[in-house]
Structure 1
Amino acid sequence: MLKGLMVAAASLIIMVAGAEAAEIEVKMLNQGAEGRMVFEPSFIKANPGDVIKFVATDPSHNAESIPGFIPEGAEAFKGEFSKDISVTVDKEGVYGVKCLPHLGMGMVALIAVGSNYPNLEAAKSVKFTGVAKKKFEALLKKAEESKSAALR
């Protein structure tokens, strides 16, 4: 019996160690693969508990959550200009992110956490204009596709 308990304890330790949160880096750039004034990547797939680190690669950018575009119970965040910010995403759902001074230029990102996005429809109703609107439409489509793939 003792041997069985030791094997079970060892298995639990291995499972917990393997379940550590990941750190995902997102660069804030003046110029990137997707154009000017971008988060790279702009679509971030994460698991609950992961840390998203927004890196101030170029100056004059920030990363902040968008009101009405984060899961219920999730903590809003707002980074300082030209400084890195790390955000732990604990709740499943989609998180809209903007760079405040460059929102009009479409500097937005979407974090899709988990495989169930309970706030997806609410996120679709948040109003944007111009380039930001088009980018969020494309990012939300990616989130829907990742949700569908997870259900298969």
Structure 2
Amino acid sequence: MKRKICLAMMLAFGMAGAAFAAEHEVKMLNKGAAGAMVFEPSFVRAEPGDVIHFLPTDKSHDVQSIDAMLPEGVAPFKGEINKPYDLVVTAPGIYGIKCSPHFSMGMVALIQVGDAPANLEAAKVVKLPKKAQQRMNADFDQVK
């Protein structure tokens, strides 16, 4: 009997943790507040377990991780053109995001998971196209 109660309590606590995960929406736009070819918002602060929903509001966009801008142990990822993509952020740190067709036009985003991201300095030195670098620098300014 005690075993069943312990099992039920463990299951309830596990489900409660999942229920507290936040969901964030990021639109992929041809034009937004920051200009042409943008993720909106371009900066998201999240916690481990949160879900980031990337929504292709306009056509010809995808979501892809930027090489060398992921927390240690997180595998690179790539969504499909014109398809929504759900990213569950599992590890604390900085996640650099790009739209591969519009990367050189500055279509980038930054996700900060948790506090004091260990890979922040490494992410800041990754070479990006000029417009992407300008927008990413503005996102880096929001990291706390």
Query: What is the TM-score of this pair, normalised by structure 2?
Result: 0.87
Match of 2:77 in 1: 77
Using the alignment, how far apart are the partners of 2:14 and 2:75 within structure 1? Answer: 28
RMSD: 2.1
Deviations 1:78-136 (A, max 9, x none): 01001101011000000000000101110000000011201001101100131111111
Match of 1:67 in 2: 67
Using the alignment, how far apart are the partners of 1:16 and 1:115 within structure 2? Answer: 24
Secondary structure, aligned partner of 1:137: helix
The offset of 1:16, in angstroms, is 5.8
Match of 2:136 in 1: 136
> What code does the residue aligned with 1:115 have?
D
Match of 1:43 in 2: 43
> What code does the residue aligned with 2:16 have?
A
Match of 1:90 in 2: 90
The offset of 1:142, in angstroms, is 1.1
> What code does the residue aligned with 1:123 have?
A
Q: Would you say the 8 A contact 2:26–2:54 is kept in 1?
A: yes
The offset of 1:76, in angstroms, is 1.5
Match of 2:16 in 1: 17
Using the alignment, how far apart are the partners of 1:64 and 1:107 within structure 2? Answer: 11
Residue-pair matches, total:
138
Displaced runs of 4+ in structure 1, greater than 3 A? 12-16
Gaps of 5+ in 1: 147-152
Gaps of 5+ in 2: none
Q: Would you say the 8 A contact 2:106–2:129 is kept in 1?
A: no
Secondary structure, aligned partner of 1:142: coil
Using the alignment, how far apart are the partners of 1:125 and 1:80 within structure 2? Answer: 27
The offset of 1:75, in angstroms, is 2.3
Query: What is the TM-score of this pair, normalised by structure 1?
Result: 0.82
> What code does the residue aligned with 2:142 have?
K
Q: Does 1:125 align with 2:125?
A: yes
Using the alignment, how far apart are the partners of 1:67 and 1:140 within structure 2? Answer: 17
Secondary structure, aligned partner of 1:53: strand
Match of 1:56 in 2: 56
Greater helix proportion: 1
